[in-house]
């Protein structure tokens, strides 16, 4: 079933490092006062890449874990004298991973979409539909993140 090879999820580690770096860049450039006059959310320039990388990392990780679990379950089912009920356990764990990932992904995509809609507008007087969406959904996103309670 394709499990007979040495498997290194190096892509995931690189994406994780990019995520950490983008987060540090977001926090660092928040210190710059020129951000104050550029955009109202002030997060657009580094918040968009940071949240995008975070979403893609979450989706990739969840897909890899779920595919691994599904392959494991089908391997065990194919084996003689297999343990009864292991596929149900795999299904439950996969559902848990997918549900928590979907929650975070939907919230993040709303925030990223609002930040992109704001763009690089230099005049805060212009009414922007993205600003208040970010204001509403960013604190909610912070609470959603604790989905990762084990």
The minimum distance between CB 52 and other proteins, in angstroms, equals 13
Residues contributing to the site for other proteins (CB under 8 A)? 3-7, 9, 12-13, 16, 19-20, 23-24, 26-27, 30-33, 35-37, 40, 42, 54, 57-58, 61-62, 64-65, 68-69, 72, 104, 124-125, 127, 131-133, 135-150
- Taking the C-alpha atoms of residue 104 and residue 150, their distance in angstroms, rounded to an integer, is 15
Least Å distance between CB 95 and other proteins?
A: 14
Please, which residue, 116 or 135, has the CB nearer to other proteins?
135
Q: Coil, strand, or helix at residue 10?
A: helix
In the three-class reduction of DSSP (H, G, I as helix; E, B as strand; rest coil), residue 119 is classed as: coil
Structural contact between residues 1 and 71, judged by C-beta atoms closer than 8 angstroms: yes
Sign of CA dihedral 15, 7, 150, 74: positive
């Amino acid at each position: 079933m394709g499990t007979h090879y040495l498997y290194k999820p190096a892509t995931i580690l690189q994406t994780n490092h990019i995520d950490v770096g983008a987060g540090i860049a977001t926090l660092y450039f928040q210190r710059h006062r020129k951000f104050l006059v550029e955009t109202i959310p002030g997060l657009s320039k580094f918040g968009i890449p940071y949240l995008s990388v975070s979403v893609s990392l979450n989706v990739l990780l969840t897909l890899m874990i779920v595919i691994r679990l599904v392959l494991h379950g089908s391997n065990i089912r194919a084996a003689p004298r297999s343990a009864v009920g292991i596929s149900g356990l795999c299904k439950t764990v996969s559902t848990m991973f997918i549900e928590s990932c979907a929650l975070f992904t939907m919230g993040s995509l709303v925030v990223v979409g609002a930040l992109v809609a704001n763009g690089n507008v230099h005049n805060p007087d212009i009414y922007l539909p993205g600003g208040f969406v970010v204001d509403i959904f960013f604190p909610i996103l912070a609470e959603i993140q604790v989905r990762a309670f084990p």
